[in-house]
């Protein structure tokens, strides 16, 4: 076995290829074989779709797997590469981070060939898949502890042209929400690496909570809309029905829009995602656990905004994020 990362097939071959991206073994674990699908119809957009970066966000792998089934009938030009599961050890452990080395794959780019397994995965993707692509859709979700609508997201990008192009691409998913998310924990993120190469990167955040069949249909429809917008697939893009509505809004959330828990206790959500709230409206209540004589603490909206994410009822520590607020994006 080669000790450099490699693909088991030639990406330039025309037609359908199914094979693996091999991550060499290291001191911490054996070699990994990540299943890869490629459909090369020659000239046209070059797209990479990835899922399963975080092991407890399984919407991406399922939607990616559905694409593998119908893309051969639908794709008319260009090349689409699909890696349904970027991080198999994390998926098997239903863990956000890789259990072997404890690293977050989405903080490990561009990776290191001689690093631990998470860094070796990042290195293989950066060196073997990224150069062959102009656009990346990375399929995440908010995971089981949040209520969050199906959304396409990007962080703010310094290059104004790339920013505008990225927001247009994000809106093409026609998800209920397109979100520009100011987020400071960025070193090693996949999107930063791709955007620094001048390419479009969309992080699809495919909702939160449990993964059910209705939600999966919405996610699949959104990705299909984006493929149509790219010109890879023919058809009519359509807003998926979400909570009995067909609609979409483009919002932004700043780091100052994070609402934190005022104390340790049980967080009770008092509003729902996509609710419009006014200053003073109730977002949630924090119940101290030590005594029933202690007052519960109300957490209120500091300003008029849209709730874009709200935490599931859960035990939280003081200063833990319990909601994200947002406002209409002004570019």
Query: Considering beta carbons, is residue 189 or 323 the nearer one to a copy of itself?
Result: 323
Query: Radius of gyration of the chain from Cα atoms?
Result: 20
Residues 155-214 that bind a copy of itself (CB under 8 A): 208-214
Q: Quick check: 246 binds a copy of itself (CB under 8 A)? A: no
Whether residue 110 has a cis bond before it, omega within 30° of 0: yes
Taking the complex as a whole, the smallest distance from the CB of residue 70 to a copy of itself amounts, in Å, to 13
Nearest alpha-carbon partner for 120 in 87, 168, 77: 87
Bridge partners, residue 150, by sequence: 206
Options 57-65, 116-124, 159-167, 320-328: segment touching a copy of itself (CB under 8 A) = 57-65
CA distance 17 to 314: 44
- Which token pair is 251? 């919002």
**Residue of 269, 306, 324, 326 that binds a copy of itself (CB under 8 A):** 269
For 237-304, give the secondary structure using H, E and C. CCCCCECCECCCEEEEECHHHEEECCCCEEEEECCCCCCEECCCCEEEEEECCCCCCCCCEEEECCCC
Q: Quick check: 321 binds a copy of itself (CB under 8 A)? A: no
Residues 94-113 that bind a copy of itself (CB under 8 A): 94
Could you tell me which residues come within 8 angstroms of residue 37 by beta carbon, excluding any fewer than 6 positions away?
16, 17, 18, 68, 71, 81, 82, 83, 84
Strands 276-277, 249-253: pairing kind: unpaired
Cβ atoms of 144 and 209 within 8 Å: the answer is yes
CA distance 271 to 301: 11
Q: Quick check: 4 binds a copy of itself (CB under 8 A)? A: no
Number of residues that bind a copy of itself (CB under 8 A): 49
**Residue of 31, 77, 145, 237 that binds a copy of itself (CB under 8 A):** 145
Taking the complex as a whole, the smallest distance from the CB of residue 138 to a copy of itself amounts, in Å, to 18
Options 171-179, 182-190, 305-313, 321-329: segment touching a copy of itself (CB under 8 A) = 305-313
Q: Quick check: 29 binds a copy of itself (CB under 8 A)? A: no
Query: Considering beta carbons, is residue 11 or 194 the nearer one to a copy of itself?
Result: 11
**Residue of 22, 91, 125, 170 that binds a copy of itself (CB under 8 A):** 91
**Residue of 23, 49, 58, 170 that binds a copy of itself (CB under 8 A):** 58
Nearest alpha-carbon partner for 23 in 6, 1, 11, 48: 6
Options 23-31, 115-123, 172-180, 308-316: segment touching a copy of itself (CB under 8 A) = 308-316
Q: Which residues of this chain interact with a copy of itself, rule CB under 8 A?
A: 18, 20, 33, 35-37, 55, 58-59, 61-62, 65, 68, 84-85, 88, 91-92, 94, 144-147, 208-214, 216, 266, 268-272, 287, 289-293, 296, 310, 312-315
């Amino acid at each position: 076995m080669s000790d450099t990362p490699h693909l088991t097939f030639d990406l330039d071959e025309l037609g359908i290829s199914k094979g693996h991206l091999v991550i060499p073994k290291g001191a911490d674990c054996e070699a990994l074989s990540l299943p890869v699908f490629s459909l090369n119809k020659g000239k046209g957009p070059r797209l990479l779709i990835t899922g399963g970066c975080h092991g407890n966000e399984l919407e991406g792998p399922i939607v990616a797997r559905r694409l593998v089934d119908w893309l051969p009938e639908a794709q008319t030009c260009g090349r689409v590469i699909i890696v349904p599961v970027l991080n198999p050890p994390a998926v098997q452990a239903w863990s956000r981070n890789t259990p072997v080395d404890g690293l977050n794959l989405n903080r490990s780019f561009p990776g290191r060939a001689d690093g631990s397994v998470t860094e070796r995965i990042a290195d293989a993707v950066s060196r073997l898949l990224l150069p062959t692509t102009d656009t990346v859709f990375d399929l995440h979700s908010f995971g089981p502890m949040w209520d969050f609508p199906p959304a396409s997201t990007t962080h703010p990008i310094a290059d104004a042209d790339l920013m505008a192009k990225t927001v247009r691409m994000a809106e093409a998913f026609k998800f209920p929400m397109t979100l520009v998310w100011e987020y400071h924990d960025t070193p090693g993120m996949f999107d930063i690496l791709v955007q620094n190469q001048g390419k479009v990167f969309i992080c699809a955040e495919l909702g939160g909570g449990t993964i059910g069949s209705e939600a999966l249909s919405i996610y699949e429809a959104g990705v299909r809309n984006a493929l149509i917008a790219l010109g890879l697939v023919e058809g009519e893009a359509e807003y998926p029905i979400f909570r009995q509505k067909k609609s979409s809004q483009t919002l932004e959330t700043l780091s100052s829009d994070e609402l934190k828990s005022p104390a340790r206790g049980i967080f009770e959500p008092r509003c729902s995602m996509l609710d419009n709230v006014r200053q003073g409206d109730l977002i949630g209540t924090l119940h101290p656990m030590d005594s029933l004589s202690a007052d519960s603490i109300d957490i209120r909206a500091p300003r008029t905004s849209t709730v874009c994410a709200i935490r599931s009822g859960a035990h939280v520590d003081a200063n833990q994020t319990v909601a994200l607020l947002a406002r209409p994006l002004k570019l």
